[in-house]
Amino acid sequence: MVSSTNQNLKPLTTNINSKGNLEIGGCDLVCLAEKYGTPLYVIDEKTIRTICQDYKKAFANYPKTHMMYASKALCTSAIARILDSEGFGFDTVSGGEIYTVYKAGVDMSHVLFNGNNKSYDELELALDLGVGRISVDNFFELALLNEISKAKNKQVDVLLRITPGIECHTHEYIQTGHLDSKFGFDLTQIDEAVELILNEYKNIKLHGLHAHIGSQIFETSIYPDEIEILIKEIVRLDEKFGLKLDEINIGGGLGVKYTEKDMPPSTYEIGSLVSDKLHELVKKYGIEPPTLFIEPGRSIISTSGVTLYTIGSSKQVPNGKKYVAVDGGMADNPRPSMYQAEYFAQVANKKDTQENETVTIAGRYCESGDILIKDITLPQLNEGDILCVYNTGAYNYSMASNYNKVARAAMVLVNNSQSDIIINRETLEDLISHDEIPSRLEK
């Protein structure tokens, strides 16, 4: 099977230049750190575009496929512009994500709004901006959406998000397809939802079913299993209600390579399995091929990104670990503390140094659990060295916070030896820009 970009540990353009420094996108990482400061998120445009092309090639055997980038992985205006230019739509999960892709100039008919507790204001925004599909998660939302669409005298096009009862072997916090989940209608609730849409909610038009089975998935058989459940439900609903549903959304969740031990499947393997299964079921049930939506997020953006840190203090525990601290940590990458996520790193300015040591990379935040990487072997580290942590494009900036009142990091896009700021570094003034002091507390 042909390999794909999500199976790489590093961005495609990672190289060692004539100075012995790491470079990505033709840009020296040490120079980037000097120019923009650290912590610094660095995104490689070539890697993003290549994985997009991988996906399109992988699903070429099923022409009725629409790629929808899962914006929650990383949602910025520049990233949206790149994905839009590659022909991707957008799976959004908040009003903020909807507004970001809208301001980036995306055709909003290519946007889907997903989530388990959408607010009135968010649903109203989605209708006002012409979002193409809303994935309805529960009965409360169905009623709310009917109320809003009726008041606006608009038809709203929806999918029903269902819980298919499939459990993938990933971290329990990122499993979304098993029965005990906060997401979606249980299979036993689908008929009631359909009856409401057909008989009462006249402004809502149902087009198909949506399921999502998890994240950082390495199992290949799970996608055909999910598709079989969705197609069987579509056939059953047609037999019972005469309802011709013609869309299925199978979510995303394909894994990436965070460390050398990770062996994710390729997009081509998944594309082949999904396409073959759909062709098989279409023939078996004698139905028209449904439009397929797939929502890759992590596998699009994760490998494309790295984070640069500057080495600071160190501590050797007597007869124990050596801790080396960087100028970032759990506020710019909460995944190690949340999910026990593991990462691989290299020193950007000491690639050829032979003297190695095993250290634990600690963050700067006032939490004992603020550890980025445990027991990694690196060249001997000194204050001022630049550490490059790989595969941080997904869910790092998205989950970033101002914990300890620390400003969030900048982000740069690199391509063909050019670097451009796509997220400005926050300032101290930014940190207090929303603070207010009541007049009764004025001095």
15, with CB counted inside 10 A (0-12, 13-18, 19+), is middle
- What CA–CA distance (Å, rounded) separates 60 from 272? 9
DSSP code, position 254: B
Identify the CA nearest to 59 among candidates 268, 293, 259.
268
> Which DSSP letter does residue 72 get?
G
Provide the token pair at 256. Answer: 């990436």
Q: Hey, what amino acid is at 160?
A: L
The one-letter code for the residue type at 91 is: D
**SS3 label, residue 419:** strand
Q: Please give the structure tokens belonging to residue 59.
A: 């699903």
d(CA 2, CA 198): 45
- DSSP label at residue 182: S
What is the spatial distance between Cα 345 and Cα 25, in angstroms, rounded to a whole number? Answer: 18
Q: Within 13 Å of residue 374, how many CA atoms lie on the same side as its CB?
A: 9
Strand ranges, E, within 233-276: 247-249
Q: What is the CA radius of gyration of the chain?
A: 23
Tell me, yes or no, if 366 is annotated catalytic: yes
Cα–Cα distances (Å) from 38 to 16, 46, 309, in that order, read 20, 23, 5
346 beta partners? 388
Identify whether the C-beta of residue 168 lies closer than 8 Å to the C-beta of residue 213. yes
Q: How far is CA 381 from CA 243, 280, 325, 329, in A?
A: 64, 56, 10, 17
Pair 295, 59: CB distance under 8 Å = no
Give the span between the Cα atoms of 149 and 131, in whole angstroms.
13
Distance, in Å, from the CA atom of 57 to the CA atom of 65, rounded to the nearest integer, reads: 11
Containing H/E element for 129?
Answer: helix 120-129
Catalytic sites, residue numbers: 366
